[in-house]
Amino acid sequence: MGIFLLILILVGAALALVMAVIALRAYLLLRRARATLNQRLNEEISDLARRTGEMERSLSDLDARAQQLPIRIYELQQSLSTLRVLTQALAATLRQAQRVLSYNALKTVSAGRVADLLRFRAAPGNDPRSV
């Protein structure tokens, strides 16, 4: 019976040793995972800090642009009113050009009709009634 107890103690000690090794491996894996997580978190935090700085600079740039916006809107309104005046002048000029062209077309058509009529009347010898 003493040997049986000795065998049980040795088996228990071997199991304890195996469990200690397994626990040690788990602890080392946990430490490695924690170190990796800590490193990644530090990288992400520094990346977020960099992005936040960029956003702050962008916001200050946008603020400066927004302060210039009323001036640019006024300039744009002036440009639009100038464009409106120029467009109206162009429309008036185009209407005048259309009138001139239509008058010239009428003159050309009328001159052509008059020439046709004169040719027809100037040649009475070709008319069978005059014989």
**DSSP string for 54-111:** HHHHHHHHHHHHHHHHHHHHHHHHHHHHHHHHHHHHHHHHHHHHHHHHHHHHHHHHHH
**Domain assignment present for 2:** no
C-alpha 59/C-alpha 12 separation (Å) is 68
Q: Is the pLDDT of residue 130 over 60?
A: no
The larger pLDDT score, comparing residue 105 to residue 88, is at: 88
The larger pLDDT score, comparing residue 43 to residue 108, is at: 43
Rounded to a whole number of angstroms, the CA Rg of the chain reads 51
**What tens digit of pLDDT does each residue of 47-83 get?**
989 899 998 999 889 888 888 888 888 888 899 999 9
Predicted pLDDT of residue 22: 97
**Domain assignment present for 68:** yes
Q: Which amino acid belongs to residue 18?
A: V
- Mean of the per-residue pLDDT values for the chain? 83
**Domain assignment present for 91:** yes
Q: Among all chains, which residue has been given the structure tokens 């924690």?
A: 34
Q: Is the pLDDT of residue 114 over 70?
A: no
What is the DSSP-derived secondary structure letter of residue 128?
G
CB 124 within 8 A of CB 130: yes
Rounded to a whole number of angstroms, the distance between the first and last alpha carbons of the chain is 166
**Domain assignment present for 131:** no
Predicted pLDDT of residue 105: 65
Could you tell me which residues come within 8 angstroms of residue 130 by beta carbon, excluding any fewer than 6 positions away? 124
Please count the structural domains in the chain: 1
Range of the domain at 115: 8-122
**Domain assignment present for 130:** no
**Domain assignment present for 128:** no
**Domain assignment present for 71:** yes
Tokens representing 29 are 């894996």
Predicted pLDDT of residue 131: 46
Lowest-confidence segment of 15-19, 27-31, 77-81, 109-113 by average pLDDT: 109-113
**Domain assignment present for 65:** yes
C-alpha distances (whole Å) from 11 to each of 19, 22, 25, 56, 105 are 12, 16, 21, 66, 121
C-alpha 67/C-alpha 72 separation (Å) is 10
